[in-house]
Amino acid sequence: MNSTLIIVAVLVLATGYGFVDRKRAGKIKSKVDSRHSITAHEIGSDLGESATVLQFSSAFCTPCRATRSILSSVIAHYPKIKHVEVDAENNLALVRRLDIRQTPTTLFLNAAGKEIARAVGAPKRDQVINALERI
Amino acid sequence: MIDARGPRWSAGLTSIVLILALITRSPIFIIIQLVQFGIGAFAGPPNSPYAWLYKRFVQPRLSKTFDSEDVRPPQFAQFVGFIFALLATVGALSHTWLLFTIATSFALFAAFLNSAFGYCLGCKLYLLGVRFRRV
């Protein structure tokens, strides 16, 4: 097969995927199907009084740092909401149970520890504020 | 912490070298890339030849203020690149052009995404790898 054609195909596919991925990243999706609640014991930290924002991170993840600073600066305005960051690699049982596939993944938990929304990838500041206002 | 622009420069140069490899089918380009990925993956991206070129010729011309990032995400990406370049080198040296073309195309896909979009390969692949490894 013509190598120029292959190169063009790879670059077009990568560009298309890049735009789709950038658009999808960090979108906060509401979830109603939350059968199990997440306990303080599982995340090694107390849950927040009204809600908990649970961030899964890993060592090989540059956007995890940005996510941490966005979440902690937004949550600072909500004294009853707590930001908890856990290392995905050290919590594999929880990662499998919640089907976390990449980092950063952020779960929004209500006071009972049930997941009500999730963002895969780094969420944007105003999206986080929206999600917290809805809790 | 390293200059976050360095790995994107390296990914751009990698894309060019991989395109040359696909066009010429000369093993020299994929071997150059294999050496770059190998040093980046095992000695760390800042010690790699492309990083040297970046520090010598590119960084002095850029703004003095920049985003920094942890060295581990780009190092992970270099390791993934190393695996594909190794397969591609085996393909080139044994004249198995299908293997060479597929492995080089995957590496080009990832390198181009990294360079053009700042794509985080470690975010998507690392956790999946760990989940499979320790089932």
pLDDT, residue B66, reads: 83
DSSP string for B37-73: HHHHHHT-GGGSHHHHHIIIIIGGGS-S---EE-SHH
pLDDT, residue B126, reads: 86
- Show residues of chain B in contact with A61, CB under 8 Å: 73, 120, 122-123, 126
**A10, A14, A58 ranked by CB distance to B126: nearest:** A58
- Show residues of chain B in contact with A64, CB under 8 Å: 123
The pLDDT tens digits of the residues spanning B46-59 come to 999 999 999 999 98
Contact A95 B72 (CB under 8 A): no
Kindly state whether A2 is in contact with chain B, defined as any CB-CB distance less than 8 angstroms: no
Whether this prediction's pTM lies above 0.90 is answered by: no
Q: Identify the bridge partners of residue A29 per DSSP, sorted by sequence position.
A: A118
- Show residues of chain A in contact with B19, CB under 8 Å: 7
Residue B135: which pLDDT band, with cuts at 50, 70 and 90? Answer: low
The one catalytic residue in A28, A47, A51, A64 is A64
Contact B113 A88 (CB under 8 A): no
pLDDT, residue B46, reads: 92
The one catalytic residue in A25, A61, A66, A129 is A61
Report percent pLDDT > 90 for chain B: 70
Question: How high is the ipTM of this complex?
Answer: 0.88
- Show residues of chain B in contact with A95, CB under 8 Å: 127, 131
A64 in catalytic set = yes
The pLDDT tens digits of the residues spanning B16-27 come to 999 999 999 999
pLDDT higher than 90, residue B121: no
Residue B54 one-letter amino acid: Y
pLDDT, residue B101, reads: 96
Decide the pairing of beta strands A51-57 and A81-87. parallel
What letters, b where the CB count within 10 A reaches 16 and e where it falls short, cover A101-134? ebbbbbbbbbeebbbbbbbbbbbeeebbeebbee
Kindly state whether A6 is in contact with chain B, defined as any CB-CB distance less than 8 angstroms: yes
Helix (H) or strand (E) holding A129: helix A125-134
pLDDT higher than 60, residue B117: yes
Mean pLDDT, chain B, rounded, equals: 92
* Cα angle for residues B14, B36, B26 (degrees, 5° grid): 65
pLDDT, residue B127, reads: 87
Residue A55: which pLDDT band, with cuts at 50, 70 and 90? Answer: very high
Mean pLDDT, chain A, rounded, equals: 90
Considering the domain A26-134 in this protein, what is its CATH number? 3.40.30.10
pLDDT, residue A32, reads: 65
Residue A34: which pLDDT band, with cuts at 50, 70 and 90? Answer: low
Answer for the pair A22, A75: CB distance below 8 angstroms, yes or no.
no
pLDDT higher than 90, residue A52: yes
Cα–Cα distance between B43 and B17 in angstroms, integer? 21
Place of tokens 């985003």: B67
Range with the poorest average pLDDT among A70-74, B96-100, B123-127: B123-127
* Cα angle for residues A123, A129, A132 (degrees, 5° grid): 105
Which chain B residue has its CA at the smallest distance from A92's CA?
Answer: B131
Phi first, then psi, for residue B79 (nearest 5°) are -65, -45
A104 in catalytic set = no
